[in-house]
Structure 1
């Protein structure tokens, strides 16, 4: 569908761009993303390697964004981007800002990210009109059940025929 071919690259562009920025200038991203970065890097045992964490984040964004833009593994790519965007959204703590201008900027970024998360969630569940795994599993189960009933019925008929033979 043409909408998917247009929408996926449009949605992916911000992630590719942001990921390249994180790869090129990890120090700037480290400063912008505190204290959320500390909450992520410390459990990983990487509190002294925050630039490495940012580079990994950037690489995930470029990879996920590129796959999404190309329509290759779009559901997986969207899920990866959701995982990268959630901590980014947490860095925009507008409720902690006292300066009205800074608060408004952080609030805009926060809600922009929520909108992107919504788009990614839709992309992550989009089966492109094909039946999803859950539906196919349900059909397979129903098919097995029908076949089992038919086999039991055939066995009963064969037993009756043998008995009346």
Structure 2
């Protein structure tokens, strides 16, 4: 089971690490998009989200307090879904559908991150192939 969890952590964190890289290398463009969606202080918001993505992604990938990393990713995903993908604000049916899919994707990933947090925190030291055990104890 340890290998399956490691493969899952690699696949899960790859999305967030790629996004963190984009936030850091395309800050201006992402801030412009965030501004167009009504996000206040878009440059600090993009840089702050990059920190959450990077810290959470690396934490989950390496198994370095991976439960905390999963929590950081959920903290990124829920506000992002609401602020960036407000499908309920769209009047164009095609734009509404695109934003709804993105909203649902972010919420599903947030759910997966919370399940990962619970799984890792509950498994404790029994989960192998990690740098550290969990930070939280949910036994």
Instruction: With the length of structure 2 as denominator, give the TM-score of the two structures.
Output: 0.79
Shift of 1:56: 2.2
When residues 123 and 87 of structure 1 are mapped into structure 2, their CA distance, relative to the original with a 3 A threshold, is same
Moved over 4 A (4+): none
Gaps of 5+ in 1: 39-46, 136-165
Q: Distance in 2 between matches of 1:134 and 1:5?
A: 21
Shift of 1:36: 5.1
- Kindly name which structure, 1 or 2, has the bigger radius of gyration based on alpha carbons: 1
Alignment partner of 2:39: what SS?
Answer: helix
The residue that corresponds to 1:94 in the other structure is: 87
Is 2:125 aligned against 1:133? no
Of structures 1 and 2, the one scoring higher in RCO (CA 8 A, sep 6+) is: 2
Q: Structure 1 residue aligned with 2:54, among 48, 51, 62?
A: 62
When residues 85 and 134 of structure 1 are mapped into structure 2, their CA distance, relative to the original with a 3 A threshold, is closer
Contact 2:57 2:73 in 1 (8 A): yes
The residue that corresponds to 2:6 in the other structure is: 5
Aligned residues: 125
Supply the RMSD in Å over aligned alpha carbons: 2.0
Contact 2:52 2:76 in 1 (8 A): yes
